[in-house]
Amino acid sequence: DQQVKQNSPSLSVQEGRISILNCDYTNSMFDYFLWYKKYPAEGPTFLISISSIKDKNEDGRFTVFLNKSAKHLSLHIVPSQPGDSAVYFCAAIIQGAQKLVFGQGTRLTINP
């Protein structure tokens, strides 16, 4: 049972445009969400997160939106840059349990 789902395996975006990566979850107990970025031959690195008490969190070019009623979150990257090409994982957690549940990942390619 996949509790966190990223339904788009891949996404291709023009440099300078907005990239939108989506993530859905089924467990309403999740109260904290994270996005990780992964380059080839490296481990995932933390990008941005959001608590369930918020609906938006922004950090530079990266913004995460949370819609709790729809159990949906999205990561916006504006403007997209070639260095953003990577696999992005959405993850969810019940705070205190400290076990992250990951989505399948979306491979983002930024075209020049």
The closest alpha carbon to 79, from 107, 111, 103, belongs to 111
Strand partners, 75: 21, 64
In the complex, what is the shortest distance from the CB of residue 42 to another protein, in angstroms, rounded to a whole number? 6
Q: Choose the binding region for another protein from 54-62, 63-71, 72-80, 88-96 (rule: CB under 8 A).
A: 88-96
Counting beta carbons within 10 angstroms of the beta carbon of residue 22, is it exposed (0 to 12), middle (13 to 18) or buried (19 or more)?
A: middle
Q: Does 41 bind another protein (CB under 8 A)?
A: yes
In the complex, what is the shortest distance from the CB of residue 96 to another protein, in angstroms, rounded to a whole number? 5
- Residue from the set 34, 66, 73, 110 that interacts with another protein by CB under 8 A: 34
- Residue from the set 19, 64, 77, 89 that interacts with another protein by CB under 8 A: 89
User: How do 101-102 and 86-93 pair as beta strands?
Assistant: antiparallel
